[in-house]
Amino acid sequence: MPLWLAEELKSELFQARSETELQDVVTATYRQVLGNAHINSFERCRKAESQLRNGNITVREFVMAVGLSETYRNLFLTRNSQYRFIELNFKHFLGRSPRNQQEIAEHVLIYNTHGYDAEILSYIDSEEYSSVFGENNVPCLRVDSSQFRSNRDYLLTLNLNRGRASSDRAPVMAQVRQLAAKLPAKANPPRIANNQYDNRITRYEVSYDLPGNSAVNRRAAQVVQVQFANLSRQLQSIQRRGGRVRTIRVAG
């Protein structure tokens, strides 16, 4: 079974698709963009769903419609500080945490100067979104640390995602203080659903690359098993040796 930040099957909508595939993409979009929040029927973007079904818009444009909706605004702007709102925008649309205080400041400026719509579109219209997700993939959490500049970025993203037992609509303090002070990141335990995991006894398997590992041969990865209490220490050790984490999974 995967840990709380584990790779999921990507949701992509092809030109020739079934109704089931379409519904899978719609469901994945609401889950990712609305932060696993439960929504009522009247909160859905029905017009955009119909346009997507008819092939009049792409998945990217459907993501845009959800992000610009009153549902998104009510869930994440009105309930949170501006810093937390921006942090969640990074998570929902780019699948990662803000890297530093400068990125947050840039988006604070966009929001205060140009407004809500410009802030949302700044992620979806970005070169990063295009290169990572393109036109027909639903945004998702980026779980391969090779996509990040440092393991610290990876850990910040890991800590933004609290697992399927949680929802982003719950008020939480943003990581802005940690970013501003450039404090070292550490892995925080996920929210437990139905006692699925007990972090005091569960062991985790960490797969990682070290300098000199082949980037092509996936079997070149190193693997180590640790208890959760030692997970942050192990990740810091990998980072000090110049390594990059590939995956973190529950062992066994």
Q: Is residue 125 in a domain?
A: yes
Q: Encoding tokens for residue 24? A: 């899978």
How far from each other are the two terminal CA atoms of the chain, in whole angstroms? Answer: 8
Do 25 and 98 have their domain in common? Answer: yes
- DSSP character at residue 225: E
In the chain, the number of structural domains is 2
Q: Is residue 189 in a domain?
A: no
d(CA 18, CA 159): 35
Do 103 and 212 have their domain in common? Answer: no
Confirm if 89 and 34 have CB atoms less than 8 A apart. no
Do 77 and 175 have their domain in common? Answer: yes
Q: Is residue 227 in a domain?
A: yes
Do 173 and 207 have their domain in common? Answer: no
Q: Is residue 174 in a domain?
A: yes
The predicted pLDDT at position 5 comes to 47
Nearest to 139, CA basis, from 204, 183, 93, 97: 93
Calculate the CA dihedral of residues 5, 8, 12, 18 and round it to 10 degrees.
Answer: -140
The predicted pLDDT at position 148 comes to 57
Do 77 and 173 have their domain in common? Answer: yes
Q: Encoding tokens for residue 132? A: 């990572």
The predicted pLDDT at position 175 comes to 63
Q: Is residue 117 in a domain?
A: yes
**CA 97 to chain CA mean position, Å:** 7
Do 119 and 225 have their domain in common? Answer: no
**CA 215 to chain CA mean position, Å:** 24
The residue type found at 161 is N
Q: How far is CA 121 from CA 94, 100, 107, 109, 144, in A?
A: 12, 20, 11, 14, 25
CATH number at residue 220: 3.30.1490
The boundaries of the domain holding residue 240 are 203-250
The predicted pLDDT at position 35 comes to 87
d(CA 112, CA 150): 30
Q: Is residue 107 in a domain?
A: yes
Q: Is residue 219 in a domain?
A: yes
Q: Is residue 10 in a domain?
A: no
Give per-residue pLDDT as tens, 171-180.
Answer: 665 565 555 5
CATH number at residue 145: 1.10.3130.20
Do 71 and 168 have their domain in common? Answer: yes
Do 162 and 216 have their domain in common? Answer: no
Do 81 and 116 have their domain in common? Answer: yes
Do 75 and 124 have their domain in common? Answer: yes
Do 71 and 150 have their domain in common? Answer: yes
Confirm if 199 and 189 have CB atoms less than 8 A apart. yes
Do 134 and 76 have their domain in common? Answer: yes
Q: b vs e for 23-36, b when ≥16 Cβ sit within 10 Å of the residue's Cβ?
A: ebbbebbbbbbbbb
The predicted pLDDT at position 21 comes to 84
Q: Give the residues of the chain that fall short of pLDDT 70.
A: 1-10, 12, 14-17, 143-155, 157-159, 161-167, 169-202, 212-220, 228-229, 250-252
d(CA 182, CA 89): 21
Confirm if 37 and 168 have CB atoms less than 8 A apart. yes
**What three-state secondary structure class fits 241?**
coil
